[in-house]
Structure 1
Amino acid sequence: MTAERSAGASAVEATRDSDADTLLTVDSLRKSFGGIDALNGVSFEVSSGTITGLIGPNGAGKSTTFNVISGVLSPDSGTVTFVDEEITGLPSHQTAQRGLVRTFQLAREFKNMTVLENLMVAPEGQAGEAAWRAVFPGTRDDVRHQEEEIFERAWEMLEFFDIDHLALENAGSLSGGQRKLLELARALMLDPELLLLDEPFAGVNPSLEERLLERIGTLREQGHTFLLVEHDMDLIMEHCERVIVMHQGETLVTGTPEEIKSEERVVEAYLGGDVA
């Protein structure tokens, strides 16, 4: 039966699957901008090893939710818990270090760097970034060894996404779809456990969309978890185990695709009707 959320109340217990391993818990998030409530008590859970869709009409608060979870924004109240650790308000680089990484609707590649360089710059804490190592020659072998490992991993990502032929091209010359592939490959260089994908298929042609879906499916089989925002309802219903519906800054309903399809309030929210 589809779990429901009453105004101002937490949906965490209502949406919990006792047989699943909960990876992310979002509880009663609130965020206002200039007196306007962007988030008004958003609550949901994401189980490990799943692909979960986050949907809702324009202005429902999906991107703001992503920004709060990933540390781009701090909530006014509420909590975000990832792998049993509260990460509410932590900056993005710290959430990434813990294994939670997001991509953006508009790819943010370094346009004047090559595709390969874009991948190699992603991992944090690289030994070669420390200026003091240049003073101590004995540490240079460690730097070289780490750079070789990062190069090998970057090349594996290029091959995995079938963009190895673009390795030496400037990222700014890529097509929109190729930028999406690079964005996801760069996120994976951080070895995340949970990826938040913000409209990963927007502007992607059908062949690249199919390739992305295949890669996401493979990564899920390898143990990665995905929470994605997407406007293509058919895609969400076909590829997600769970779906979270937002409306006017609130969690309207969560459930399986089959449950969501039969939920009248979801239809009303998308068609602009009143939501009971």
Structure 2
Amino acid sequence: MSESDDTTPDGSTSTEEPIESDPESESAESDPEPTESNAEPATDGSARVGDEPDGDGSTAGSGDDPNEGGSTDVETPDQPVHAPEDAGVPTGSTPLEVEGLRRTFGGIVAVDDVSFDVEAGTLTGLIGPNGAGKSTTFNLITGMLEPDEGTVRFNGEDITGLEPHEIANQGLARTFQIARELEEMTVLENMMLAPKGQVGESLWRSVMPITRGEVREQETDQLERVWEVLDFFEIDHLAEEYAGNLSGGQRKLLEMARALLTDPDMLLLDEPFAGVNPSLEKRLLEHIHELREQGYTFLIVEHDMDLIMNNCERVIVMHQGRVLKDGTPAEIKESEDVIEAYLGGEV
């Protein structure tokens, strides 16, 4: 697996340093380009699934649940919890099409002629050894970086080079390995920022008598939707907690919930299980499977090969900036090239 303002999955901006100015690389993957960097492993969970303390001993929840195992091979429930709104991309189509992506940093080729597509309504995994180019590819797809060559199409539209918020507005949302919440705002306030097309974003409309009623009506509808999503991810009990007080896994839940509020057709998840304890990892997987049952499409970057093999219908393997293998989990497991890449052999 830049810009002057970083953009969150919902298309809003934050004052963090731009992606390309970060001198560090992602903790689990040493891509040549700067990416979401060096996440310290955190252990946690929401209070409903069992919490472990953060590194400083604090937690927004309470004790471990001894009944939750560490298995990541999740059985999809017979009656999955319905997501607040169904996604709208027909199954069998290919909403995301990546063709010939290339990106260099100085003399280093980070991504070289990367091409693949993702079928609607599927879980697709993107894996590879450290430095394979996975995060660079994610950043090129979502507008955090601009490719030197190649095109990205989403729902048939060329989105190459668009700003991250423009891509999010078209229905392609993403999360980051290091969650990007606004720490001095509550969980509820973070969630209320996510829905797009808010009338109240205009100061004039929010104060003019002729439009104030429209603003209030929209905010009421959005608040109802926010509570539905918080309940879906089982973090509604944290609504009034400051986001900065959440433990690592709870922040992952918040970020995924916030991304869902943008009404995406497809979600790109960057290391969603990094630093998450086994019980919360299982819960996150259940949420992803439930959303997939509603028609959402997922592309997931992950280093845990077994987790991807057990939960994705299709796996794309990258190595040294190129797509090494693309196929079913069974095909990937039997590939000598993939085995050699992970064991350090020549490919």
TM-score by length of 1: 0.91
2:120 corresponds in structure 1 to 48
Between 244-253 and 128-137, the greater mean CA deviation after superposition: 128-137
1:172 corresponds in structure 2 to 244
* Structure with the higher strand share, 1 or 2: 1
Kindly indicate whether residue 162 of structure 2 is the aligned counterpart of residue 162 of structure 1.
no
1:81 corresponds in structure 2 to 153
Equivalent of 1:181, from 253, 260, 269?
A: 253
SS of 2:168's equivalent? Answer: helix
1:153-232 equivalences under 5 Å are 153-232=225-304
1:143 corresponds in structure 2 to 215
The number of equivalent residue pairs is: 257
1:4 corresponds in structure 2 to none
1:117 corresponds in structure 2 to 189
Kindly indicate whether residue 144 of structure 2 is the aligned counterpart of residue 72 of structure 1.
yes
1:271 corresponds in structure 2 to 343
Instruction: State percent identity of aligned pairs.
Output: 68
Equivalent of 2:305, from 230, 233, 239?
A: 233
RMSD over aligned Cα, in angstroms? 1.0
Cα deviation for residue 228 of structure 1 reads 0.3
Unaligned runs of 5+ in 2: 1-90
Cα deviation for residue 123 of structure 1 reads 1.6
Instruction: Name the CA distance, whole Å, in 2 between partners of 1:51 and 1:273.
Output: 29
Cα deviation for residue 149 of structure 1 reads 1.1
**Alpha-carbon deviations, 1:26-73, whole Å to 9, x = none?**
001000011210001001110000000000001100000000000111
Kindly indicate whether residue 106 of structure 2 is the aligned counterpart of residue 34 of structure 1.
yes
Kindly indicate whether residue 99 of structure 2 is the aligned counterpart of residue 20 of structure 1.
no
SS of 1:22's equivalent? Answer: coil
1:3 corresponds in structure 2 to none
1:210 partner letter: K
Cα deviation for residue 132 of structure 1 reads 1.3
Between 124-133 and 107-116, the greater mean CA deviation after superposition: 124-133
Unaligned runs of 5+ in 1: 1-18
Kindly indicate whether residue 330 of structure 2 is the aligned counterpart of residue 258 of structure 1.
yes
Instruction: Name the CA distance, whole Å, in 1 between partners of 2:345 and 2:323.
Output: 17
Cα deviation for residue 125 of structure 1 reads 2.7
1:100 corresponds in structure 2 to 172
1:82 partner letter: F
1:24 partner letter: L
1:10 corresponds in structure 2 to none
1:248 partner letter: Q
**Alpha-carbon deviations, 1:115-149, whole Å to 9, x = none?**
01111111233111101124521110000011111
Over 4 Å off, 4+ runs: none
The answer to whether the 8 Å contact 2:98/2:115 transfers is yes
Instruction: Name the CA distance, whole Å, in 2 between partners of 1:160 and 1:105.
Output: 21
Instruction: Name the CA distance, whole Å, in 2 between partners of 1:229 and 1:248.
Output: 16
- Inter-CA distance 261–142: structure 2 relative to 1 (3 Å threshold): same
Instruction: Name the CA distance, whole Å, in 2 between partners of 1:244 and 1:271.
Output: 17
Instruction: Name the CA distance, whole Å, in 2 between partners of 1:182 and 1:30.
Output: 32
Instruction: Name the CA distance, whole Å, in 2 between partners of 1:165 and 1:193.
Output: 27
Cα deviation for residue 88 of structure 1 reads 0.7
Instruction: Name the CA distance, whole Å, in 1 between partners of 2:235 and 2:94.
Output: 34
SS of 1:75's equivalent? Answer: coil
The answer to whether the 8 Å contact 2:199/2:206 transfers is no
TM-score by length of 2: 0.73
Instruction: Name the CA distance, whole Å, in 2 between partners of 1:175 and 1:213.
Output: 18
1:92 partner letter: P
- Inter-CA distance 183–134: structure 2 relative to 1 (3 Å threshold): closer
Cα deviation for residue 89 of structure 1 reads 0.8
Equivalent of 2:129, from 57, 62, 84?
A: 57
